[in-house]
Amino acid sequence: MLHTAYRPEKEMGLRRIFTDSGHLVRPAVVLIAALGIFLIIRALVIPKAFGQYGHYRPAALMEIRQRPIVYAGQDQCVMCHDDEAKTRAAGKHAHVACEACHGPLASHANDPAAHVPKLPDVANLCRRCHEKDAAKPPGFPQVVTAEHSGGMTCNSCHQPHNPHL
Amino acid sequence: MIPGVDGFMYPNEIELQWGLLIVLYPYITGLVAGAFILASLERVFKVEAVRPTYRLALLTALAFLLVAPLPLQLHLGHPERSMEMYLTPHTSSAMAMFGFVYLWYLTVVLLLEIWLDYRVDIVRMAQSTTGFMRLVYKALTLGSENVSPAARRIDDKVGYTVTVIGIPSAFLLHGYVGFIFGSIKANPWWSTPLMPIVFLFSAMTSGIAAVLLLYMASVKVKKIPIDMRCLDTIGKYLFYTFLIDFTLEMLDLVHRTYEADESFRSLDFMVHTRLMFSQIILQILLGTLVPLALLAANQLWKFSEAKRRVMYLTAALLTMVGIFAMRWNVVIGGQLFSKSFLGYTTYKVSFAAREGLFTAVGLMILPFVIFVVLVILLPPWPERSET
Amino acid sequence: MEISRRDLFTIGGKLLVLASAGATLEQITGAEPATEAYKMADHWWGMIVDIDKCIGCGNCVRACSNENHVPDGYFRTWVERYQVTEDQQPQVDSPNGAIDGFPPSTHTGVKSFFVPKLCNQCAHSPCVQVCPVGATFVSPDGVVLVDQSYCLGCRYCVQACPYGCRYLHPDTKTVDKCTLCYHRITQGLTTACCENCPTGARQLVDFKNPKDPVHEFLRHNKVQILKPYMATGAKVYYKDLDGSVR
């Protein structure tokens, strides 16, 4: 059979090819070593549980959830300020949240004594919503303040919590 | 009114996100891909005439490739986090995948091909030099000094295979840069399937021009006679690739103009105002039509050697400027108009900032410094360095 | 001595504060947070905006800025004023994002209205698609968020957002955007912008909550999303949106 035939020149040739291409193994080893080091480093430094919900760091969700709240929210305000809440509920501003005019007050809700809210600046506050502008919905109550009040502040006539005269 | 803004921009759009450094990034990557493709012409397509530039082109490609990630790195808000791109690459992100294409190209293609081609020289120098340089060359041999004729034949075969793999890799490298822009559907100035192929051909154009310039410079420095046949051949290839590049860009322009979709009025206005100088004058007139005319003239008529040299030099320099302007117009132009198509903002290059002009100039000089170091370390003219 | 009802509430409030301070302390120390009752899988957040109710007061912009410490000159939400001539060419302004509302309009005889803008919390978000490292993502409850400690600041996502909702925070050098007040909505509160909208023009909605008014709203109104041809799966629905809005 053919493969049993001893052919020394063939074997020599093969060996030569091996020795002459031996140097090619070296860059391959360098590459594979680099790849191996990379994979080890990657396994060590990749954030914990990365990819649990998707391609991101799941801990980020809780970090974002723990950011501080600045606006306490309607329900907190009316827990204490029920008189004002009642007045407001009876009027046109029933759906305007307290902090929409009074500003962010979570700090006050958390510690009422330490953080006393300032009264809003009425001259600018009311105008932001009620100054006449063609872009506002037609049914929305709006006035040209310069003509409407003759320089008087809005709350000389309107009670902000229930603005109807 | 906001200074520098005409009409209406979404408020977060007024400030440009990608500046001069991101203009450099596709420019430099383009030079890599172009230079490599020129080198492979000799190797794979057996264009004997460009042989004198083979090694030069490989070293040019390597010098620019080493610098290519730097502008990206410097523009990041958090450069120290850039490794995340390799640690947790997002497979749907063109930018993340680019990192791998880059590494593949650097290690498997370019370094391997240079190593195989220079092995004989490296081994020789490892034996002939002394001191520190000897150590460097010894390290570069990777511990094998077998440069027998049989080993060299094998190197040549493997090198050929690497080049064959390298051509699509070079296409991939720069096509991918085009894809980074071309795949942004939110931006009509970028979003076109032609973008990768336009980037590819402009890359080849600028890369060939760069090698032509470096070849002319190196024969000047080395005081060796210039090979006019080589120069003419490079000039011919420059002409053809530039012609294809220009055709593709015009196809894009004609297509946009003819379709005239909702973004057209806005983009058209931008090209005629804010991009007038950089697009119409610098890119199309000076940077494309003039060099194309010079190169075309050389295809039609026979000029004297001295004239040809001046013509090639001018054409190549203008090409480099034109392709740079093209990158500028893509990157910067794509951010000057509002995605509401109702307004325009302005880009001002800062000088000393991290992403400013000085950094950019430094980054453009750096590849040439690396190139000089590489040329000293691995002389592309072995027959002369022996004398 | 008479104790008023308010005083009682104040004392009660203080007790509540103590309790909530305890919760925060737990959160800081990394123990099981008190809000663990919130199940992400049970929610799918979005918003509805009723153009005809918006009065351009800018309350939402101010509220967002206060709640989220948005840096000056950048916006997680803003309001645009459209003034559209008969040929449907809009003139748009949004002075400083309308953080102080709008100066009275000088145009007369044109169609005009306000459009509040914010992140559309896209389900197929192009910004998330392009992020190279997974620093921005759609949370399991449908909010597009940015991981500030992982973002490279490459700004590819800013380029990819068709709506201009993202910016690079000048201090953190990471990308920042609307979180749909994730820290509030996961604790049963509404967003700062919705809380402070005086006319109810914007409303936080939960598509997975069968009792949410959004279902009724979507059945009875003609709605539109911004740039629908972008196919981003935007979850901010606009009622009475004019064709000229971009």
For the stretch A62-80, pLDDT in tens is 999 999 999 999 999 999 9
pLDDT of residue A15: 76
Q: Which two three-digit tokens encode residue B321? A: 């400027």
Once rounded to an integer, what is the mean pLDDT over residues B77-97?
95
Residues A23-36: tens digit of each pLDDT? 999 999 999 999 99
Q: Looking at chain A from residue 59 to 118, which residues have their Cβ under 8 Å from any Cβ of chain C?
A: 60-71, 73-74, 79-82, 93, 95-97, 99-100, 103-104, 109-113
Task: Tell me what pLDDT residue C22 has.
Answer: 40
What is the pLDDT, as a whole number, of residue A9? 59
Query: Residue B170's pLDDT is what?
Result: 87
- Average pLDDT score over chain C: 89
**Cβ distance of C139 and A61 shorter than 8 Å:** yes
Q: Which of C132, C133, C173 sits opposite B77 (nearest CB)?
A: C173
Residue C145: per-residue pLDDT: 98
- Its domain, for residue B319, covers 6-385
State yes or no: pLDDT of B162 exceeds 80: yes
Side-chain-side CA neighbours of A158 within 13 Å: the count stands at: 18
The number of beta carbons lying within 10 Å of the beta carbon of residue B125 is 22
- The closest CB to that of A20, out of B88, B143, B154, belongs to B154
Looking at the structure, tell me whether residues A82 and A94 fall in a common domain: yes
Q: Which residues of B touch A51 (CB under 8 A)?
A: 88
C152 contacts B76? CB cut-off 8 A: yes
Q: How many CB atoms lie within 10 A of CB B199?
A: 28
Residue A7 is assigned to a structural domain of this protein: no
Q: How many CB pairs under 8 A join A and C?
A: 166
pLDDT score recorded for residue A150: 83
Query: Which residue out of C72, C154, C226, C246 would a mutagenesis test of the B interface target, given it has the greatest number of B Cβ atoms within 10 Å?
Result: C154
Q: How confident is the model at residue A165 (pLDDT cuts 50, 70, 90)?
A: confident
Question: Are C97 and B11 inside 8 Å of each other by CB?
Answer: yes
Q: What share of chain C is helix, strand, coil (3-state, %, to 5)?
A: 30, 20, 50
- Is the pLDDT at C26 greater than 60? The verdict is no
A76 in the same domain as A110: yes
> How many independent structural domains does chain B possess?
1
- Burial degree of A120 (CB within 10 A; 0-12, 13-18, 19+): middle
Q: Which residues contact B82 (CB under 8 A, 6 or more apart)?
A: B72, B73, B76, C152
Of C136, C147, C183, the CB nearest to A66: C183
Nearest alpha carbon to residue B72 among B117, B121, B109, B18 = B18
Which residue(s) pair with C79 in the sheet? Answer: C116
Phi and psi (nearest 5°) for B75?
Answer: -85, -15
Q: From chain C, pick out residues whose CB is under 8 angstroms from the CB of A93.
A: 198
Cβ contacts of A133 within 8 Å, gap of 6 or more: A142, C55, C56, C102, C104, C105, C112
Query: For residue A3, is it within any domain?
Result: no
Flag whether pLDDT at A3 surpasses 70.
no
DSSP-derived 3-state class of residue B349: coil
C70 neighbourhood in chain A, CB within 8 Å: none
Residues in chain C with CB shorter than 8 Å from the CB of A121 are none
Chain B residues closer than 8 Å to C112 by CB = none
Average pLDDT, chain A: 89
What residues in B contact C126, CB-CB < 8 Å? 184-186
Which pair of structure tokens corresponds to residue B61?
């490609």
Q: How far apart are CA B94 and CA A98, in angstroms?
A: 47
- Smallest CA-to-CA distance from B35 within B68, B6, B10 is with B68
Residue B267 is assigned to a structural domain of this protein: yes
- B157/A104 Cα distance (integer angstroms): 74
Tens-digit pLDDT profile for residues A56-65: 999 999 999 9
List all chains that touch chain A, counting a touch as 3 or more CB pairs closer than 8 Å: B, C
Residue C80 has pLDDT above 90, yes or no: yes
* Chain center to CA of B15: 27
Largest CA distance in chain A: 119
A26, closest residue in chain B (CA to CA): B142
Query: For residues A39 and A43, what is the distance between their CA atoms, to the nearest angstrom?
Result: 6
Q: Please report which helix (H) or strand (E) contains residue C113, including its range.
A: strand C111-118
- Measured between beta carbons, which residues in chain A are less than 8 angstroms from residue B88? 46-47, 50-51, 55
pLDDT surpassing 90 at residue B324: yes
Cα–Cα distance for residue pair C124/C117, rounded to 1 Å: 18
Looking at the structure, tell me whether residues A124 and A156 fall in a common domain: yes
Kindly tell me if the per-residue pLDDT of C9 is higher than 90. no
For B273-296, letters b (16+ CB in 10 Å) and e give ebbeebbeebbbeebbebbbebbe
Model confidence pLDDT, tens digit, residues B356-385: 999 999 999 999 999 999 999 999 875 544
CB contact under 8 A, C92 and B342: yes
Q: Is residue B64 helix, strand or coil?
A: helix
pLDDT of B293: 98
H helices present in B47-129, as ranges = 54-67, 69-75, 84-87, 94-103, 112-128
* For C100, nearest residue in chain A (alpha carbons): A128
Both tokens assigned to A140: 């929305």
Q: State the average pLDDT over residues C216-245.
A: 96
Is the Cβ–Cβ distance between C121 and C163 less than 8 Å? no
A156 domain-assigned: yes
The domain of A94 spans 70-118
- pLDDT tens-digit profile of C31-72? 444 446 899 999 999 999 999 999 999 999 999 999 999 999
Given a cut of 70, whether residue B270 has pLDDT beyond it is yes
pLDDT value, residue B173: 86
Q: How does pLDDT run across B200-253, given as a tens digit for each residue?
A: 999 999 999 999 999 999 999 989 899 999 999 999 999 999 999 999 999 999
In a domain, B173, yes or no: yes
Position A109, amino acid: A
Q: Provide the pLDDT for residue C105.
A: 84
Using DSSP bridges, classify how beta strands C236-239 and C45-50 pair: parallel, antiparallel or unpaired. parallel
C203 touches chain A (CB under 8 A): no
Q: What is the pLDDT of residue C109?
A: 85
Q: Is residue A146 part of a domain?
A: yes
Task: Please state, in angstroms and rounded to a whole number, the distance separating the CA atoms of residues B175 and B170.
Answer: 8
In tens, the pLDDT along B52-86 reads: 899 999 999 999 999 999 999 999 999 999 999 99
Q: Which CATH number do you get for residue B106?
A: 1.20.1630.10
A21 assigned to some structural domain: no
**Between residues 47 and 66 of chain A, which touch chain B (CB distance below 8 Å)?**
47, 50-51, 55
Tell which of C195, C202, C204, C240 to mutate to test the A interface (max A CBs under 10 Å): C195
pLDDT value, residue C33: 47
Neighbouring chains to C with at least 3 Cβ pairs closer than 8 Å: A, B
Pair (A139, A149) in one structural domain: yes
- Rounded to a whole number of angstroms, the distance from the CA of A23 to the nearest CA of chain B is 6
Give chain A positions within 8 Å (CB) of C81. Answer: 135
Closest-CA distance of chain B to residue A52, Å: 13
* Residues of chain A positioned with their CB less than 8 A from the CB of B143: 26
For residue A11, what pLDDT is reported?
62
- pLDDT tens by residue, B123-132: 999 999 999 9
Q: How many domains does chain A have?
A: 3
- Does any domain span residue A37? yes
Q: Does residue C101 contact residue C93 with C-beta atoms inside 8 Å?
A: no
Using a CB–CB cutoff of 8 Å, tell me whether C13 touches chain B.
Answer: no
A30 touches chain B (CB under 8 A): yes
- Residue among B223, B148, B203, B196 nearest B31 (CA): B203
Would you say B182 and B192 are in contact if contact means Cβ atoms under 8 Å apart? yes
Q: Does residue B1 fall inside a structural domain?
A: no
What percent of chain A has pLDDT above 70? 93
Question: What's the pLDDT score for residue C16?
Answer: 45
A87 is a domain residue: yes
